[in-house]
């Protein structure tokens, strides 16, 4: 991963845009969706940029670029056709500790802007690291049709209800289980009133000790594409991950990111059993068949822990 993905608090960003044409206008339009402070420098500007200037939404410097204009800026977008000027701004920005993006010239960029699917406050961003813009555009368009427009409303609703859920449940595991059930409620997908669905589910949810102990056995394939949807869904719900030493890293990466992970061996079997006794969901990614007398299977049977098996698609 050559580019580190990060979302910045736009209220803290002061941006310089060098150039006043259509390409600069497109960058400014994106910036205008955030509270970032934008300054444009160019001898002339497009009609769209002029409208923003007239509305006092951006600061305009009628003239040419000077290094002093980088003072106090965190980012600079360079959208000119003057290669020598673009190279100079790149050097100036680096010397001033300002991150520069020179449009259509990856070699002069300190950062790149991703393709975005905006369902604010949910925002999805993706890049091809400059390798295949057409492929990136294809997938953005594909995902646009898959991600519902109502997702932003749902995210805002959940944010407003976080404290109510926190007050109702005394532990994190129960809160997470509540939200998982809420977000996958069929009524939510069909447009049922969010408030009614939320209140009904909360009223019927007891704050009790988390006894959701489960042992999930997933036969890991050679390639992630061979994992079934059910396998991936449960990998992302597990509290702890145990895996054989030779399971591919790109398989393990699909597990819940904050779940502790350990290589299966004789030394951590007892620790895994203790996690099950605490009511944890434990996912074991294994290669090949698991022996019937494996300690984890024996414990699951002895303690009546729910046991679920998932095979890869080729099996």
Are 74 and 107 found together in one domain? Answer: yes
Do 102 and 119 belong together in one domain? no
The label of the residue with tokens 């497009």 reads 46
Supply the pLDDT for residue 172: 83
> Residues 112-121: pLDDT tens digits?
999 999 999 9
* 226 and 294 belong to one structural domain: yes
Which residue among the candidates 44, 166, 239, 244 is catalytic per the annotation?
Answer: 244
Percent of the chain with pLDDT over 70: 95
pLDDT at 181: 84
Spatial contact of 159 and 179, defined as CB atoms under 8 Å apart: no
More confident: 197 or 211: 197
Q: Which residue has the higher pLDDT, 29 or 130?
A: 29
Q: Quickly state the pLDDT bin for 250 (edges 50, 70, 90).
A: very high
Q: Determine, yes or no, domain membership for 153.
A: no
Q: Are residues 166 and 105 in the same domain?
A: no
Query: Is there a single domain that holds both residue 239 and residue 306?
Result: yes
Residue at 7 is within a domain = no
39: domain CATH number is 3.40.50.720
Closest CA to 275 of 296, 244, 246: 296
Looking at the chain, the whole-number percentage of residues with pLDDT higher than 90 is 65
Position with higher pLDDT, 156 vs 192: 156
CATH number of 138's domain: 3.30.160.110
User: Could you read off the pLDDT of 294-304 as tens digits, one per residue?
Assistant: 888 887 788 88
Segment 240-254 mean pLDDT:
94
Residue 33 lies in a domain: yes
Inform me whether the pLDDT recorded for 186 exceeds 80. no
- pLDDT band of 191, cuts 50, 70, 90: low
Query: Would residue 44 show up in a list of annotated catalytic residues for this protein?
Result: no
- pLDDT higher than threshold 60 for residue 210: no
Catalytic residue among 261, 266, 289, 293: 261
How far, in Å, are 85, 211, 229, 248, 253 from residue 235 at the CA level? 50, 18, 10, 14, 10
**Could you tell me if 106 and 182 lie in one domain?**
no
> ∠ at Cα 105 (18, 16), nearest 5°?
20
Report how far residue 68's alpha carbon sits from residue 75's, in angstroms, rounded to the nearest whole number: 14
| Average of per-residue pLDDT across 160-179 | 91
Of 240 and 314, which is predicted with more confidence?
Answer: 240
Q: Which pLDDT belongs to residue 38?
A: 98
Q: Which domain holds residue 243?
A: 214-310
Looking at the 3D structure of the chain, how many domains does it have? 4
What per-residue confidence (pLDDT) applies to 212?
65
Do 184 and 94 share a structural domain?
no
Does residue 2 lie within any of the structural domains? Answer: no
The overall average pLDDT reported for the chain is 90
Q: How many CB atoms are closer than 10 A to CB 183?
A: 12
Give residue 138's pLDDT.
95
We report the CATH number of the domain holding residue 248 as 3.40.1010.10
Q: Give the span between the Cα atoms of 283 and 111, in whole angstroms.
A: 37
- Tens-place pLDDT, residues 32-77: 999 999 999 999 999 999 999 999 999 999 999 999 999 999 999 9
Looking up tokens 């600061």 gives 59
Residue 154 within a domain:
no
- Domain match, 109 and 35 both: yes
* 182 lies in the same domain as 197: yes
Q: Does the pLDDT value for residue 16 go beyond 80?
A: yes
Same-domain check for residues 285 and 305: yes
Same domain flag for 18 and 109: yes
Question: Residue 147 in 3-state DSSP?
Answer: coil
User: Where is the domain boundary, 147, 172, 190?
Assistant: 147
181 and 228 together in one domain: no
Inside any domain, residue 156: no
pLDDT given for residue 313 in this prediction: 56
Q: How confident is the model at residue 315 (pLDDT cuts 50, 70, 90)?
A: very low
Residue at 279 is within a domain: yes
Query: What integer is the mean pLDDT of 85-105?
Result: 96
Helix (H) or strand (E) holding 138: helix 133-146
The answer as to whether 98 is a domain residue is yes
* Lowest pLDDT segment from 79-93, 127-141, 143-157, 204-218: 204-218
- pTM greater than the 0.75 cutoff: no
Active site residue 92: no
DSSP string, 250-297: HHHTTS-TTS-EEE--TTTHHHHHHHHHTT-EEEEEESSPPPTT-HHH
Please report which confidence band the pLDDT of residue 234 belongs to, taking 50, 70 and 90 as the band edges. confident
């Amino acid at each position: 991963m050559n580019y580190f993905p990060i979302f910045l608090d736009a209220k803290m960003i002061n941006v310089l845009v060098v150039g006043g044409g259509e390409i600069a206008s497109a960058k400014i339009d994106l910036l205008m969706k955030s509270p970032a402070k934008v300054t444009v420098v160019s001898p002339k500007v497009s009609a769209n940029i002029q409208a923003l200037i007239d509305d006092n939404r951006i600061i305009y410097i009628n003239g040419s670029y000077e290094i002093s204009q980088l003072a106090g800026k965190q980012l600079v977008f360079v959208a000119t056709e003057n290669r020598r000027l673009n190279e100079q701004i790149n050097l100036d920005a680096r010397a001033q500790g300002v991150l520069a993006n020179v449009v259509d010239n990856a070699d002069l960029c300190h950062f790149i802007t991703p393709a975005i699917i905006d369902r604010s406050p949910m925002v999805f961003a993706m890049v091809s690291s400059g390798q295949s813009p057409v492929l990136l555009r294809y997938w953005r368009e594909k995902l646009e049709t898959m991600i519902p427009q109502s997702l932003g409303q749902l995210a805002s609703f959940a944010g407003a209800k976080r404290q109510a859920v926190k007050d109702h449940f005394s532990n994190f595991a129960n809160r997470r289980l509540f939200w998982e059930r809420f977000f996958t409620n069929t009524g939510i997908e069909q447009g049922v009133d969010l408030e009614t669905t939320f209140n009904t589910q909360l009223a019927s949810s007891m704050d009790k000790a988390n006894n959701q102990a489960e042992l999930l056995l997933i036969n890991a394939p050679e390639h992630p594409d061979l994992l079934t949807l059910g396998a991936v869904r449960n990998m992302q719900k597990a509290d702890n991950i145990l895996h054989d030493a030779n399971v591919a890293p790109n398989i393990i990466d699909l597990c819940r990111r904050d779940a502790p992970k350990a290589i299966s061996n004789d030394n951590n079997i007892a620790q895994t059993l203790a996690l099950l006794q605490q009511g944890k969901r434990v996912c074991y990614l294994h290669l090949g068949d698991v022996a019937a007398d494996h300690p984890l299977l024996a414990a699951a049977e002895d303690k009546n822990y729910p046991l679920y098996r998932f095979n890869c698609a080729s099996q």
